[in-house]
Amino acid sequence: MTIWDIFSILFCLAGGVFFLAGVVGMLRFPDAMSRLHALTKADNLGLGFIVFGLCLRSLAVPVIIKLLLIWLTVMLASSTACYLVGNYILQKAEDRPKEN
C-alpha cells in the first residue's frame, strides 16, 4: 500500500462523511429551504472528495480528466437544480396567501 492509497482512502472517507451529513440534514432540517442547503453540501463537497480520492488512485490521465469533468457537470447540474427548486418554493410561498 503506497502513500497515494492512504490519501485516497482518507479523501474517500471524507466524501462519505459529507454524504452522511447530507442525508442527516435531509432528514433533520425543518423546511425545504434548509434541506436545499444540506443537498448542495453533499453534492459539491462529498462527490468532490470522492472524485479527488479516485484521481489520486488512477494513473491514466484520460480517466482523471473524465472524473474531473463528471464532477464539474455535477456541480453545474446541482446549482441549476437548486436554483430551480428554490425558485419554485418561493413562488409557491407567494401564491399561498392569495389562495387562502
Q: 3-state secondary structure string, the chain?
A: CCHHHHHHHHHHHHHHHHHHHHHHHHHHCCCHHHHHHHHHHHHHHHHHHHHHHHHHHCCCHHHHHHHHHHHHHHHHHHHHHHHHHHHHHHHHHHHHHHHC
Q: Contacts with another protein: how many residues (CB under 8 A)?
A: 44
The size of the chain, in residues, is 100
Nearer residue to another protein within complex by CB, 61 or 92: 92
Q: Of these, 78, 96, 99, 100, which contacts another protein (CB under 8 A)?
A: 78
Nearest to 5 by CA among 13, 42, 67: 13
Q: Of these, 7, 10, 27, 68, which contacts another protein (CB under 8 A)?
A: 27
By the rule CB under 8 A, 56 interacts with another protein: no
Interacting residues with another protein (CB under 8 A): 1, 5, 9, 12-13, 15-16, 19-20, 22-23, 26-27, 32, 35-36, 39, 42-43, 46-47, 50-51, 54, 57-58, 63, 66-67, 69-70, 73-74, 77-78, 80-81, 84-85, 87-89, 91-92
